[in-house]
Structure 1
Amino acid sequence: MREQVMWPRLVASKIISKKLATSNFVADFPRSPESCLHLPTSDHDPVAPVILPENQKTQNYNIFVSTWNVGGVTPTEDLNIDHLLDTNNTCCHIYVLGFQEVVPLKASNVLGLEKKNVSTKWNSLIERTLNKKSRTNDLSLKATKSNSESSDLQDDFRCLISKRMVGLLISVWVRTDLYPLFQNSNVSCIGCGIMGYLGNKGSVSVRFQLHQTSFCFVCSHLASGGGEGDERNRNTDATEIFSRTSFPTTKGPKRILDHDRVVLLGDLNYRISLLEKETRSLVNKKAWNRLLEYDQLRMELNDGQFRGWHEGTIDFAPTYKYLPNSDEYFGKNDETKRAPAWCDRIIWTGDELKQILYARNECKLSDHRPVKAIFSTQVKVSR
């Protein structure tokens, strides 16, 4: 069968030749045309740097962050993510979108044998959604605004950086007029999957500097499994990600936790440590606080792998596992059992990050629901 793909000698030799402590093994294939995309918007004139008042020492920014396991489903032309980004009601300065399983995690994809322009499709959808409002209103606004107000028109977005490793994709978009303020952007990929190195599980991290403040966003897909003790595998993956991720040291921090502000987003796969029957009963009662007492990630946040990290209030239903195109959880009608869980999470560490939204979205594309957050952050202004 096509699924039973022979392991390429190149991949096998790379894995065998690496010591377990090696931190610089990149688990995807960087020569792939879609593996790393810098997508400046081509239909804009060069943007001059923003000039701030001379006495201004800090600047406030809003950052949108989302995570979505799309279950290997490629976006169609008519897929609508307006409700996820919600730009009509909440327009942010920075958008960070993380995806898991943008391709099915079959052997041929994990080994890099199939080339698909899936990153381009997702980025095109993001660009179209973010810039829909500005394109619709552009001509009428320019006709009514004076030259002194022209800076207010620069509310469209361009891609700062996008990176894919197998099924993981992270894409960072910034307001066009702010683009010159972003410096030292880099990516780092860590595979924690098959044999501890391949990219069916792991992370894609991006970092940049805004004024004098460094940011790092880590899009992760940790080990799955709802059995007893499986959370230890997830903790091990997290440890590997933090210890092995390394950025160029010419400018900016080298390690994830060296950055001023860090956000971890993804299908972290932590489950609820209760019997399935009791879990489903509490879900039906919407007893979120009771369920969260047994949530594995909350335990790690309180006194474990992620002690010192923060997460907003969860007042929404578990995001996994749903029947496709349905509001029903998988396993309700005699399917193979899979208890509901908050697998999809966004947590953060660092000063001057204030979360002002934490919610799930109701898109039914896959067996996961997307999760989104909005942060307000204050940064020191460069002089």
Structure 2
Amino acid sequence: MSNISSRNPTEDSSTEPPETINRFTSYAEEIKEEMPEIDSEEEEEIELEDPINAVVNNDAETELEETVKQLASMHPETPIARGSRKWYEKEPSWKWKGKPLKNPISKEKIRICAITWNMEGRPPPDDISSLFPPDVKHHLYIVCAEECMRSIGHSLFKTSKKDWETKVLAALGREYSLLEACTLTALHLAIYAHASVKPLISFHESDKISTGVANVIGNKGGVGISFKIGSTKAMVIGCHLAAGHNAVTKRSNDLARIERELSLPSYWPKSGLATDRTDFAIILGDLNYRIFGPKDAIEYLIEENAIETLKKYDQLRLEIEDRKIAQDFEEGEIRFPPTYRFDKGENRYDTSKKQRIPGWTDRILYKDRKGLAKQKSYDCIMSEKHSDHRPVFSQFVLKFRNDIVGPVNTRTNKGSSTCVTF
């Protein structure tokens, strides 16, 4: 099967020119920050004003400050200085260490590893074994990289992520091959399959949705890959949503639009949400949701390992609880510190003049409509300090129905499917 073609940017512009012009104007600053002449280290985040969330944010700051005062009075000897509790030394909770892969045909279940990492527009480090430990094997690897290989601005003109795909394959080993890949500017989603499971996979295809300037430029958006394993339908959606502490509503609206407009799988009638047309789905990426509250209070609670308190102010969790997005999706228990934004190469949250507030921007959600999956881990890799984000991973066991009685005619994708941008 061939990839679903990219949407023609000129189609919408002919039907609603005034709205398109207005959208270009309203997002002018956002695209300006991501052009090549801007250093990605100093990328300006657009603070889209949201009156409702501004009120929530103010209330959260007051409540969080009171919580910190209570904690400080209970533990007056605890320093607020970063690193006092060595929270950054936490080891990732990988499952199946040293355990070989089992035959997926006889067991009718596979191991899946999903990884999301914002690479900050930089080439990967020489050693990426922290993301792909050689003693932990999976049948499928789902790898979503945001700001992959180069900045968003540079990626508008050079989209290829072939070098990244090659590096991942080298880390995984010769038994793995690239099943499907899709690129939207600097956002890259790929699925790598072990030789034992590849004969079971069919109907793999991809699509993408731009949510950047005028919903045309791919500086932000989502990419999707759908496939069948046996007769079980699966889908993965990788996202890089709008930046800015107060851009909660835009993030949620864009995520809902991505899920609604992806034309996957192409053999199924397009209606409702794309993820409702599959048995198992994953959404992952730099969703960019932050934590409501003042920076000092949040960092104090991180030092105290008060994760449960911090989660009460997590923007994504609040949006899901209000039933605004990601209905029927689940998220594993967060037991790791916020994964953004770190000083380069340091176990220290942002000390630049921008003073960005820490947040769990990097997330993995899943929808299991038929009870086929079991999440085995959900964690971050604190030791990988190449970027200002920490990678996040989740491991799953997925059961599937094997109706295969002979060889499957699968399409082999030798490279990334890329989105036309300008």
Normalising to structure 2: TM-score of the pair?
A: 0.68
Match of 1:282 among 287, 297, 301: 301
In structure 1, the partner of 2:360 is: 342
For each residue in 1:127-161, what CA deviation from the matched residue of structure 2 results, as whole angstroms up to 9, or x when unmatched? 10000xxx6xxxxxxxxxxxxxxxxxxxx111101
Supply the RMSD in Å over aligned alpha carbons: 2.4
5+ residue gaps, structure 1, are 1-9, 22-49, 136-155
* TM-aligned CA deviation for residue 309 of structure 1: 1.3
Counterparts of 1:120-139 in structure 2 under 5 Å?
Answer: 120-131=162-173
In structure 2, the partner of 1:314 is: 334
Q: Distance in 1 between matches of 2:281 and 2:200?
A: 19
In structure 2, the partner of 1:148 is: none
Q: Distance in 2 between matches of 1:368 and 1:51?
A: 34
Q: Secondary structure at the match of 1:195?
A: helix
Count of paired positions: 307
Match of 1:246 among 240, 257, 263: 263
For each residue in 1:210-242, what CA deviation from the matched residue of structure 2 results, as whole angstroms up to 9, or x when unmatched? 001011000001111113xx2111111111101
Q: Distance in 1 between matches of 2:120 and 2:12?
A: 27
Q: Distance in 2 between matches of 1:251 and 1:11?
A: 22
In structure 1, the partner of 2:288 is: 269
For each residue in 1:248-283, what CA deviation from the matched residue of structure 2 results, as whole angstroms up to 9, or x when unmatched? 533697723211101000000111111222112111
For each residue in 1:304-338, what CA deviation from the matched residue of structure 2 results, as whole angstroms up to 9, or x when unmatched? 2123211111111110001111111113xx62221
Q: Are 1:115 and 2:190 an aligned pair?
A: no
CA contact (8 A) 2:349 2:358 kept: yes
For each residue in 1:109-137, what CA deviation from the matched residue of structure 2 results, as whole angstroms up to 9, or x when unmatched? 33xxx2354x1111111110000xxx6xx
**Cα 1:14/1:105, change in 2 over 3 Å:** farther
Q: Distance in 2 between matches of 1:358 and 1:325?
A: 23
Q: Are 1:219 and 2:238 an aligned pair?
A: yes
For each residue in 1:3-34, what CA deviation from the matched residue of structure 2 results, as whole angstroms up to 9, or x when unmatched? xxxxxxx987455125699xxxxxxxxxxxxx
Counterparts of 1:12-51 in structure 2 under 5 Å?
Answer: 13-17=10-14
For residue 172 of structure 1, what is the amino acid of its counterpart?
I
Q: Distance in 2 between matches of 1:248 and 1:94?
A: 19
Fraction of identical pairs, as percent: 27
Match of 1:166 among 165, 170, 185: 185
Which is worse superposed, 284-293 or 269-278? 269-278
**Cα 1:18/1:321, change in 2 over 3 Å:** farther
In structure 2, the partner of 1:380 is: 401
CA contact (8 A) 2:237 2:284 kept: yes
**Cα 1:253/1:12, change in 2 over 3 Å:** closer
Q: Distance in 1 between matches of 2:142 and 2:13?
A: 35
For residue 125 of structure 1, what is the amino acid of its counterpart?
K
Q: Are 1:198 and 2:245 an aligned pair?
A: no
Q: Distance in 2 between matches of 1:65 and 1:297?
A: 19
Q: Distance in 2 between matches of 1:125 and 1:232?
A: 36
For residue 214 of structure 1, what is the amino acid of its counterpart?
K
Q: Distance in 1 between matches of 2:367 and 2:15?
A: 31
Q: Distance in 2 between matches of 1:259 and 1:105?
A: 31
Q: Are 1:232 and 2:252 an aligned pair?
A: no
Q: Are 1:209 and 2:228 an aligned pair?
A: yes
Q: Distance in 2 between matches of 1:51 and 1:264?
A: 24
Q: Distance in 2 between matches of 1:272 and 1:352?
A: 32
Q: Distance in 2 between matches of 1:379 and 1:91?
A: 19
Q: Secondary structure at the match of 2:130?
A: helix
CA contact (8 A) 2:9 2:216 kept: no
Q: Distance in 2 between matches of 1:179 and 1:18?
A: 43
For residue 328 of structure 2, what is the amino acid of its counterpart?
G
Match of 2:319 among 295, 300, 314: 300
Q: Distance in 2 between matches of 1:243 and 1:253?
A: 9
5+ residue gaps, structure 2, are 1-6, 20-102, 405-422
Counterparts of 1:175-186 in structure 2 under 5 Å?
Answer: 175-186=194-205
Q: Distance in 1 between matches of 2:269 and 2:172?
A: 29
**Cα 1:190/1:52, change in 2 over 3 Å:** closer
For residue 362 of structure 2, what is the amino acid of its counterpart?
D
In structure 1, the partner of 2:146 is: 100
Q: Distance in 2 between matches of 1:123 and 1:354?
A: 27
Normalising to structure 1: TM-score of the pair?
A: 0.75
**Cα 1:232/1:366, change in 2 over 3 Å:** same
For each residue in 1:144-194, what CA deviation from the matched residue of structure 2 results, as whole angstroms up to 9, or x when unmatched? xxxxxxxxxxxx111101111101101111111321211000101000011
**Cα 1:11/1:377, change in 2 over 3 Å:** closer
Q: Secondary structure at the match of 1:83?
A: coil
Q: Are 1:368 and 2:389 an aligned pair?
A: yes
More relative contact order in 1 or in 2 (CA 8 Å, sep 6+)?
2
Match of 2:113 among 64, 75, 78: 64
Q: Are 1:189 and 2:208 an aligned pair?
A: yes
CA contact (8 A) 2:343 2:350 kept: yes
